[in-house]
Amino acid sequence: MITTVQTRPIAGQKPGTSGLRKKTAVFMGAHFLENFVQAIFDVVGAKGKTFVLGGDGRYFNDRAAQVILRMAAANGAARVIVGQGALLSTPAASHLIRLNKTDGGIILSASHNPGGPEGDFGVKFNMPNGGPAPEAVTEAMFRRTEEITEYRILTAQDVDLSRIGRQHLGEMVVDVVDPVADYATLMESLFDFAAIRTLFADGFRMRMDSMCAITGPYAVEILENRLGAAKGTVTHATPLPDFGGMHPDPNPTWAHELMEEMMGPDAPDFGAASDGDGDRNMVVYARGLAGVARSMPTSTAADRVAARMGIGSFETPTGWKFFGNLLDAGRATLCGEESFGTGSDHVREKDGLWAILLWLNILAARRQSVADILHDHWQNYGRNYYSRHDFEALPTAQADAMMAALRASLPSLPGQVLEGMTVTAADDFAYTDPVDGSVSRGQGMRVLFEDGSRMVFRLSGTGTEGATLRLYLERFAPGPEGLDLDPQVALAPVIRAAHALARINGFTGRTTPDVVT
Ligand code: G1P
Ligand code: ZN
């Protein structure tokens, strides 16, 4: 039986950098999930369509999946392809959307944000190209949530998502699929598995920390089963609803067990970690590279390589959705963000395991250590010292006031000398998509210096508590001198200049960041 439920708009259903993210308790509140999902179906249309559904296994993932299935059926969807146990990593979901030529997919994840009843939850819609919905579509969804008066849902028993195979929910087909198999096969088609197998057979040792999140099953299948890495290579391999209390952000702060092992006496040759939904990691292309794209705050090191190779390089706003058009148009092959996310045109999401396999493939081909490869790069191109400082849970009013004051000062900055460095340009980053001409404004303030140093100030679009200031710092050392400094030491003048310029302490009372990556 289809029920039409009367509802009212709920404030704050505005998707951010990567879908709608809120505290889990907010998502579990009356009509919250239902309103947003109905807004998605109202905007993209559900009748007769096929969607992919799955998530990173965090708390409420299973319940939310059942609600979405009942709503898809009530809205007339023909078929939903669901990962077994309602699990799918974000890149695997992107791949299933493309492989099955579906009309899009719904991904349940808050990525690197902690999970659990006290943690965060998120819902994201991906387009038929497998990539996150562009701003025009998420804006339409937001407008819909502001006028919604009813949603449709089927009254039915839960679908048994533990059983692979076809079932029916009302008129709708539900295909429960192995969440790992198709993705593992895709990876096997992209990389030289035989060479990587030989590397492991020759004694190469690796540690992969899946941080009790979704990449565990994928990493075990690919690294241990298909590539022959030693059993136990993957740790924290079972996805848990609260990620075992871990914070699934693959940076040195949160992946500290991995860092300790890698710095310890019996360190393996290569260490890697991945985030909650598997699209990030902490990385020969047979077809060559059409171009590279990076988000604006990301280190500019890749631009130097692209320039020397004579290929295109693009600077987009933060968020993977901005890479979609470049990938679809064949203008970029590799994309990356400073937040430990890289990927290619094989799917339309960043992809942590892909990036790890890319590195393994490079190591297998070059038979050099990661450290040697980095040093080679610095010798050839100079070193871009780079770091991000996060100031979390700031009172929103203080953060907004600080950003407003900084914005007002931008026009007066060029020509000024800060910490001995001359400012050449300062702006609030706006991006015109080179493929469809759409314009996105207010994407972060950047201050550029004559010597290649930069600082960028942005407020996070994925946080769920107050405001998070992200301060991105970069300093270029052309070499051959000064290539082996500690990054925070090398960046010290840029850090001091940023604090003085934005008056971070004056506005927020903070002098030191909560997280340094
Ligand atoms: C963060 C990252 C950004 C990434 C996004 C989604 O967004 O900084 O690079 O695309 O998560 O995974 P932010 O919180 O900075 O808006
Ligand atoms: Zn993620």
Question: What is d(CA 117, CA 25) in angstroms, rounded to the nearest whole number?
Answer: 6
Question: What is d(CA 218, CA 225) in angstroms, rounded to the nearest whole number?
Answer: 10
Question: What is d(CA 119, CA 141) in angstroms, rounded to the nearest whole number?
Answer: 24
* Helix pair angle (352-366, 370-381), 10° resolution: 90
User: Tell me, which fold does domain 382-516 have in CATH?
Assistant: TATA-Binding Protein (3.30.310)
Q: Cα angle vertex 340, ends 397, 328, to 5°? A: 100
Question: What is d(CA 219, CA 73) in angstroms, rounded to the nearest whole number?
Answer: 33
User: Tell me, which fold does domain 2-179 have in CATH?
Assistant: Alpha-D-Glucose-1,6-Bisphosphate; Chain A, domain 3 (3.40.120)
pLDDT at 283: 42
111 catalytic? Reply is yes
Residue 337 CA: nearest ligand 1 atom is 9
DSSP classification of residue 509: S
pLDDT tens figures, 303-325 = 999 999 899 999 999 999 999 99
Instruction: State yes or no: pLDDT of 276 exceeds 80.
Output: no
Task: Quickly state the pLDDT bin for 285 (edges 50, 70, 90).
Answer: low
Question: Does ligand 1 lie within 6 Å of residue 17's CB atom?
Answer: yes
Give residue 198 CA to ligand 1 midpoint distance, Å: 36
Q: How many CB atoms lie within 10 A of CB 331?
A: 18
Ligand located closest to 297 CA: 1
Residue-wise burial string across 409-432, b where 16 or more C-beta atoms lie within 10 A, e elsewhere: bbeebeeeebeebebeebeebebe
Q: How many CB atoms lie within 10 A of CB 453?
A: 23
Question: What is d(CA 66, CA 109) in angstroms, rounded to the nearest whole number?
Answer: 15
Work out the average pLDDT over 113-131: 95
Ligand located closest to 294 CA: 1
pLDDT tens figures, 167-222 = 999 999 999 999 999 999 999 998 999 999 999 999 999 999 999 999 999 999 99
Question: Does ligand 1 lie within 6 Å of residue 21's CB atom?
Answer: no
Can you give the residue ranges of every domain in the chain?
Answer: 2-179, 183-376, 382-516
pLDDT at 284: 44
The residue whose CA is least distant from atom 15 of ligand 1 is 460
**Of all residues in the chain, what percent carry a pLDDT higher than 90?**
83
CATH topology agreement for domains 2-179 and 382-516: no
Highest CATH level, class, for 183-376: alpha beta
Give residue 503 CA to ligand 2 midpoint distance, Å: 31
Question: What is d(CA 43, CA 59) in angstroms, rounded to the nearest whole number?
Answer: 27
109, 111, 339, 460: which one is catalytic? 111
